[in-house]
Amino acid sequence: MAEAIAFVAGATGYTGRAVVETLVARGVDTVAHVRPDSSRRAEWTQRWEALGARVDATAWEVSALRQTFVRIRPTLIFALLGTTRARARQEGRGATEAYEAIDYGLTMMLHEAAVACDHAPRLVYLSAAGVRPDTRNRYMAARARVERALRDTGSPLAAEAIERVIPALDAHATAWARQRISACEATRVRGEQSEALLDRRMACLERRRQQLEAVVGVLAAPDPEVVEHAVQTLDALGSLEACADLAALQAQYPPPEGEAMRAAVTALHARVAALEAAAKAGRASTMVQEARAVVEEAAALDYPPLQAEAHYARHLVDHLLAEHEPAIVEAVAAHRWATMVGDARTAWRAALAVARDVGRSARGTEDALRWLETARGWGERIELGAADRSHASRVRGEVLQHGDRVDEAIAELAGSLEQLEAESAPAGVLAGHHVGLAYLLRRAGRLDEARTHALQGIEQLEASLGQSHPEVARAYAILAQLEGARGDASSALTAIEHAVSIWRAITGESSMPHASALRERGDALTALGRFEPAIADYERALRILEALEHREPIEEVMTTVNLANTLSAQGQTTRALEFMERSLDRAIETFGADSVKVAEIRLNYGGDLAQAGRHEEGLEQSRLGLELLE
C-alpha cells in the first residue's frame, strides 16, 4: 500500500483520529487536514507529525482544495465530517443549519474538488447515522432489517446480495434526498421554478420514495427466493432523473385535485410500487390477485397516470408467469394510458414489453419491430442510462433472432456492445451482451467466436454478481450448448454441472431452472453415450416440470423430445414412441400445427415408427414434417 496517498478531512474528530492512526500504521502516506482557524491547530500539527503523518490546513474553498489535491495527488480522500448539537449551539447555529453547512456543505466541497481532479481520486464517505434497532428513522430502520433478513435466509447468495444491494439502496436514498433539497431551493431560494412545477417534482419524488420503501419492504422478508432476485429487484426503483426533467414534468398530466383524491391516488401508487417490487423479487405467482385489484381500483379512481402504471405492473406479473397473451394486452393498455398523459418512461417500458412478448415467434416479428420503433421514439424523449439502452438492444436482438434474422440480431448486439464498451459501461451491463452474442453466434455456426463471448460474459458476471448467481448459471448453460455444438461433450458436461449446482443451491431441486439444467446435462451425457444417467436426468426434469403450478410448455416439449430420442438410441423403442407422441401433442398445442418445431418432431417420430416396424405411419409422419419444412 506504499503507493497510496490518503487525504483525511475531519482528521481531528473521533473517527478521523482512528483513521489517520490506522492508515499510518499500515504504511499509507497520510495527509491529515486541520481547519486553518482551529484553536488547536499547533497541537494537532505536532501530534500528527510525531505520528508520521503530513499536516494540511487548506481553507474550505473548492478552488483551494482542488489546488491541494493537484499538488499532493491523493488516491483516497476521506470525508469524515460532522458536527454536534452542542457545537452548533456554541457557534450560535441551529442544529439543522449546522448539519447543512458542515455534514452536507463541506462534504460536497470535497466531492466537487475531487471530481475536478484529472487523476480521479476515490472519495470515501462516512455516514454519520448509527443505526439502532429502535431508531425512529424509517429508512435506516428498514435498511438494518434488509441486512438482517438477507443474512437470516442462509442462502449462499446472501453475502453477495448485501454487498451489492445495500450500497445501491444507500446511493438511491442519498440521491433522492439531494434532489428533494434541490427542488425546494429552485423555488424557495433561487426562484427558478413555479410553485406548480415544485408540486409536480414533489409528486414525482413521492412516487420514487414509495418505490424505495416497496423495494426495501420486499428485501426485508427472509426469503431465499428474494435473495436470488435481490439485484433484479432494484429495477423497481424508478428514475430520479425523470423528477428533474422540467420539460417532461410540465407536459405530464396534472396532479389529482382534492385532498381525498390525492390520498387515494397516493395509497394506490404505493400498492403498485409494492406489486412491481414483489414481482421482480420472484414473487409474481403470489401477486396475481393484487395485480388484478390495482388495475380495477385505478380504473375506479379514473386518474390516467395511475392507470398506466397499474396496467404495466399487471403486465409484469403476467410476463414473469409466462402468460404472454395477457401480458401483451396489459402492456398495450399501459402504453395507451401513458401516451394519453405524456408519461414517456412508462410508454417506453410498455412499448418494449409489447415488442418482447409479440416477438416471441416469427409470426410476430414485424409487429414487434414496429413496437420497437415506437419505443425508440419515446426513448429519445427521456434520459436513458447504459442499463436501459442495453435492455432495449437485447430486446431487439431477441425479436430478430425469433424471426430467424440471426445475422441482424448479431449486428444489433455487437454494435451496442461496442458503444457500451466505449462508454466504459459496468461489467454487469456488458456481460448480458456477451452472453447474448454467444447464443446468437452459436445459432449462426460461428462457434469459436461464440465461445469467446460466453467465457468473457461469465467472467464479467462472476466479477459483478458473484459465482453463485442465476445469471451465471444461465451463462454456463449457454457455454454448455456451445461446447456440445463444437463436439466437446466433456467440456459441455463440465459447464452444465456448474449450472446444475448453482440452481440446486439457490432454488432447490424443484424449480424450473433446475429442471432446465437437468435437461441440458442429459443432453451432454447422451452425447457421451451415457444413456442411463441421461434418461434419469430427463425423467427427473419432467417430474419437476409437471409438479410446477406455472409450467413452461416449451421446456416440457424439449425435455420430452430429448428423452424420446435418448430412449430410441438405447433401443427402448416402445417407450420412445410413447414420449415422442406426447411431445408432438404438446408441441402442436404450444407452437401451432404448422410450426418448424412440430415439423422436426414429426420427422423424428417418423423415424422411430419405422424403426418399430410401423412403416406406413412412419412415412406419413415424415411426409407431414417435410411438407411443413417446405
Q: What is the mean pLDDT of each run of 10 residues along the chain (630 residues)?
A: 79 84 89 89 91 92 87 88 49 42 64 76 61 56 55 53 66 80 82 82 83 72 58 69 74 77 88 85 82 94 92 90 86 94 91 91 84 94 82 91 90 91 83 91 93 93 76 89 90 91 78 87 91 93 84 81 88 87 83 80 82 83 82
Q: Do 12 and 94 fall into the same domain?
A: yes
Residue 26 to residue 5: CA distance in whole angstroms: 12
Single out the residue in 475, 504, 539 at which a domain terminates.
Answer: 539
Residue 385 to residue 425: CA distance in whole angstroms: 10
Residue 236 to residue 199: CA distance in whole angstroms: 23
Single out the residue in 504, 539, 574 at which a domain terminates.
Answer: 539
pLDDT attached to residue 153? 53
pLDDT attached to residue 245? 76
Residue 319 to residue 328: CA distance in whole angstroms: 8
Per the listing, cell 414496429 goes with 370
How many Cα atoms sit within 13 Å of 263 on the Cβ side?
A: 3
Using H for helix, E for strand and C for coil, what is the string for 160-215? HHHHHHHHHHHHHHHHHHHHHHHHHHHHHCCCCCCHHHHHHHHHHHHHHHHHHHHH
Amino acid identity, residue 52?
Answer: G
For residues 496-523, one letter each, b for 16 or more C-beta atoms within 10 angstroms of the residue's C-beta and e for the rest, the string is bebbbebbbbbbeeebbbbbbbbbbbbb
Residue 522 to residue 516: CA distance in whole angstroms: 10
Would you say residue 339 lies in a domain?
no
Say what the alpha-carbon torsion angle 559, 409, 466, 5 is, to the nearest 10 degrees.
Answer: 170
Residue 168 to residue 163: CA distance in whole angstroms: 9
Would you say residue 22 lies in a domain?
yes
Q: Do 93 and 22 fall into the same domain?
A: yes
Would you say residue 335 lies in a domain?
no
The SS3 assignment for 137 reads coil
Would you say residue 318 lies in a domain?
no
Would you say residue 171 lies in a domain?
no
Per the listing, cell 427427473 goes with 540
Q: Do 75 and 30 fall into the same domain?
A: yes
Q: Do 582 and 503 fall into the same domain?
A: no
| CATH code of the domain covering residue 604 | 1.25.40.10
Which residue from 89, 111, 251, 266 is spatially nearest to 178, judged by alpha carbons?
Answer: 111
Domain extent, residue 102, equals 5-125
Q: Do 488 and 577 fall into the same domain?
A: no
The SS3 assignment for 516 reads helix
Q: Do 17 and 64 fall into the same domain?
A: yes
Please state the domain count of the chain. Answer: 3
Single out the residue in 99, 125, 151 at which a domain terminates.
Answer: 125
Q: Do 114 and 10 fall into the same domain?
A: yes
Tell me the three cell numbers of residue 579: 414420449
Tell me the three cell numbers of residue 597: 418445431
Q: Do 579 and 534 fall into the same domain?
A: no
The SS3 assignment for 32 reads strand
pLDDT attached to residue 609? 81
What's the farthest any 2 CA atoms get from each other in the chain?
A: 103
For the chain, the residue count is: 630
Per the listing, cell 415408427 goes with 609
| CATH code of the domain covering residue 61 | 3.40.50.720
Would you say residue 109 lies in a domain?
yes
Q: Do 9 and 89 fall into the same domain?
A: yes
pTM over 0.75: no
Would you say residue 24 lies in a domain?
yes
Would you say residue 534 lies in a domain?
yes
Q: Do 41 and 94 fall into the same domain?
A: yes
Q: Do 526 and 620 fall into the same domain?
A: no
pLDDT attached to residue 86? 42
Q: Do 530 and 579 fall into the same domain?
A: no
Residue 154 to residue 145: CA distance in whole angstroms: 15
pLDDT attached to residue 503? 82
Tell me the three cell numbers of residue 569: 438410441
pLDDT attached to residue 2? 40
